[in-house]
Structure 1
Amino acid sequence: MSLTMNSKIEDLSTELWLEIFAYLKIRQQFNAFFGLNKRLNQTLLSYRTHISWRNNDEDAQHLLAHVLPYMTHPKNVTGLRLENTKRIDFNYYGNLFDFPRLKALFLHRLNITEDLHSIIQRNSTYLRYLYISQTISCNKLLMHKFLETILSLQNLQTCSLRLRLCMTPLRIKISSKSSIKNLRLMGTSEICTTDRLIKLLEYLPQLQSLHIIANQFSFISTKSTENEICTVALSNFILNINELTVPFIQLADFIISVMPFIQELKVVCRTAMQNLNYLNIHDWIKFVKSSPNLKNVTFDVHRGNEIDEQKWNNRCQMLIKNMNLNHVTLRIGK
């Protein structure tokens, strides 16, 4: 007589259930499986590691009404995304977004408010990754407090911010320096001014990588007196701008002064070059000899119609050859 073992879908391992849930929206998960048995209920409420609230749609409303208030292990949540949450009252529901072990926070299309600021402060202990995109606020005082909080996060490693947030005059009072190692400043229609950038860098002694996306890179001081030059130990710098309006030698001097240990440099210009000034061999050699750690340079540009193609190609080849002689790998062009 042979024995047969009956198996039910409820008997699947927790790991398999989590794999299944990964393919379903939040409402689908709960409408189909919540109440099937206690173990599944516990799995739905206890093993959730990422919370995503977007656009106040039905899934977001279900999350707010039926999931967040009943989560048994909020410490398991390590990732939180809040996007376009205009109709949520963070003053009333803010405590539902308290996750003591949060490591990654993504904020997109949100106004900076005191309630949102409080959420970041309450979830800041283990925060390692912060992404803030398209944030809008008219309250400059609150923006200062917001930035001050970000720079005070003790475990933050990687941070992406709107450029405008960091280009306002800084009057920050914090007791310790920031732990940020990788910083991305985004503002395709905004101007990055060097004096305010330098002021920001004073708070970032551990910075290793800096990526700036802006309309222009400006050396026009926003104050009557210039800031003192500070140096940072970063090894990677990416400058992605709409047009190069400053002389190459001025940009090179800035990099030499502020980033003396740079190893990787990438300059991206989104509009065509109008002349050959940025391909001056003598200026590049001077720059390379003043940057002893520099190993790789990417000059991501394209030729404008005003420049003769043969002259452009000859200058590029000569420049690449000279850089190789100085042990620097240079790539020019798209």
Structure 2
Amino acid sequence: MYSKIEDLSIELWLEIFTYLKIRHQFNTFFNLNKRLNQILLSYQSHITLKNNDEDTQYILKYVSPYLIHRENVTGLRLENTNKVDLSNNAKLLYFPRVATLFLHRLHITKDFLNLFQQNSTYLRYLNISSIVSGDKIMMHQLLEIILSLSNLQTLRLGLRMSMSPIQLRISSKSPIKNLKLIGLNENFFIDRLIILLQYLPYLQSLHIITNQINFISTKNTDNISCTNSISSFTLNIHEFIVSFVQFTNFILRIIPYVQELKIICRSPVQNFDYLNHREWIMFIQSLPNLKKIILDISRNNDIDEQIWNKKCQMLIKLMIKNHIILQIVK
């Protein structure tokens, strides 16, 4: 019994298409027969548009206008949006069921904000890896839209955008459970983080990559109490300039129910402040839910290695006594 390649199951065709760009899929298989046309136009689930390159132009001209089930597109990646005419291509870029959205080298404009709103109703995962241009007002408007999304679960965002000093004009609470704020060369402000967390009562995991912690207050947040339920917190910092006591006070105020705590310092520490046995006793006694700590820190060459190792061992014994898992990454 003979079979033709056109008779392969839909599952096999979709597997084949995962190895080909959309342009190559259509150039190779479109118009071979009606069944293949149906598969190509009905089962596109992920689309990438970047730099207005050849693939992007092909998708906008030959693919998007003819998609049968636009709701099947659940993943979208946009790069260098300033090179695509978002206004005139708004209908071609409408995918009502996008659940995963990646934005890279983003240019925030009014047209982009309109496009984002029309495609974000069912968004569950959003990754904004870098912003090239956009004034403070536009970035603030985008942040308000993001925090108003009713289905968003995971957000990866630039630290600068999340630290907007402008008062948010939204009354709803965001369902976001996982938040990662990235700013290798930027400081994060405690008071602005407190304000942001007011809109994130369901947050479970918080990961901050920053240059420094800034305790200078630009707004009075003394009367604001944090009601989040963050259980996992990671701080990746360039260098510890703040004292361990300042840092622990920040944790106790912002993340009092933390269960897993990870501290990464990208530069060698200059003293034993973050290995102070007495301070750690008071700290862990104030965190009843704490179960695991990871310290990814290294000593400066001026610090005596034997004393450093001894203090690490003391901390390990302390955590064992309090039924807390401690990993010290050297």
Shorter-chain TM-score bucket reads: over 0.9
What TM-score does the superposition give when structure 2 sets the normalisation length? Answer: 0.97
Structure 1 residues 138 and 50: CA distance shift in structure 2, 3 A: closer
Q: What is the CA-CA distance between 1:83 and the residue it aligns to?
A: 1.3
Does residue 271 (structure 1) correspond to residue 275 (structure 2)? The answer is no
Separation in 2, partners of 1:100, 1:226 = 39
Question: 2:239 corresponds to which residue?
Answer: 243
Separation in 2, partners of 1:295, 1:72 = 51
Q: Spell out, residue by residue over 1:27-50, the C-alpha distance to the aligned partner (whole angstroms, 9 max, x if none).
A: 221111111001101111110111
- Choose 320-329 or 263-272, whichever is displaced more: 320-329
Does residue 158 (structure 1) correspond to residue 154 (structure 2)? The answer is yes
Question: 1:202 corresponds to which residue?
Answer: 198
Give the counterpart of 1:213 among 200, 209, 213: 209
SS of residue in 1 equivalent to 2:179: strand
- Choose 95-104 or 134-143, whichever is displaced more: 134-143
Q: Spell out, residue by residue over 1:215-253, the C-alpha distance to the aligned partner (whole angstroms, 9 max, x if none).
A: 111111134x44434222110000001111111111111
Once the two structures are superposed, the pairs formed by residues 228-307 of structure 1 within 5 Å of their partners are 228-231=223-226, 232-307=228-303
Letter in 2 for 1:324: I
Q: Give the aligned length.
A: 329
Q: What is the CA-CA distance between 1:102 and the residue it aligns to?
A: 1.1
Question: 2:61 corresponds to which residue?
Answer: 65
Separation in 2, partners of 1:154, 1:294 = 30
Large movers: runs of 4+ above 4 Å: none
The answer to whether the 8 Å contact 1:137/1:143 transfers is no
Q: What is the CA-CA distance between 1:56 and the residue it aligns to?
A: 2.6
The answer to whether the 8 Å contact 1:181/1:206 transfers is yes
Q: What is the CA-CA distance between 1:57 and the residue it aligns to?
A: 2.3
Does residue 329 (structure 1) correspond to residue 319 (structure 2)? The answer is no
Q: What is the CA-CA distance between 1:170 and the residue it aligns to?
A: 3.3
Does residue 192 (structure 1) correspond to residue 183 (structure 2)? The answer is no
Does residue 183 (structure 1) correspond to residue 179 (structure 2)? The answer is yes
Separation in 1, partners of 2:25, 2:222 = 56
SS of residue in 2 equivalent to 1:238: strand
Once the two structures are superposed, the pairs formed by residues 22-37 of structure 1 within 5 Å of their partners are 22-37=18-33
C-alpha root-mean-square deviation of aligned residues, in Å? 1.2
Does residue 95 (structure 1) correspond to residue 94 (structure 2)? The answer is no
Give the counterpart of 1:78 among 71, 74, 77: 74
Separation in 2, partners of 1:305, 1:322 = 26
Separation in 2, partners of 1:302, 1:14 = 54
Letter in 2 for 1:77: V
Identity of matched residues, %: 58
The answer to whether the 8 Å contact 2:181/2:207 transfers is yes
Separation in 1, partners of 2:166, 2:208 = 18
Separation in 2, partners of 1:207, 1:32 = 46
Separation in 2, partners of 1:48, 1:180 = 27
Question: 1:38 corresponds to which residue?
Answer: 34
Letter in 2 for 1:84: N
SS of residue in 2 equivalent to 1:97: coil
Separation in 1, partners of 2:221, 2:76 = 40
SS of residue in 1 equivalent to 2:303: coil
Does residue 111 (structure 1) correspond to residue 107 (structure 2)? The answer is yes
Letter in 2 for 1:230: S
Give the counterpart of 1:142 among 133, 138, 153: 138
Unaligned runs of 5+ in 2: none
- Choose 264-273 or 23-32, whichever is displaced more: 23-32
Separation in 1, partners of 2:249, 2:81 = 44
Separation in 2, partners of 1:135, 1:74 = 27
The answer to whether the 8 Å contact 1:183/1:211 transfers is yes
Q: What is the CA-CA distance between 1:143 and the residue it aligns to?
A: 1.3
Q: What is the CA-CA distance between 1:176 and the residue it aligns to?
A: 1.2
- Choose 49-58 or 230-239, whichever is displaced more: 49-58
SS of residue in 2 equivalent to 1:322: helix
Q: What is the CA-CA distance between 1:173 and the residue it aligns to?
A: 1.6
Letter in 2 for 1:46: S
Q: Spell out, residue by residue over 1:184-203, the C-alpha distance to the aligned partner (whole angstroms, 9 max, x if none).
A: 00110100010001110011
Question: 2:127 corresponds to which residue?
Answer: 131
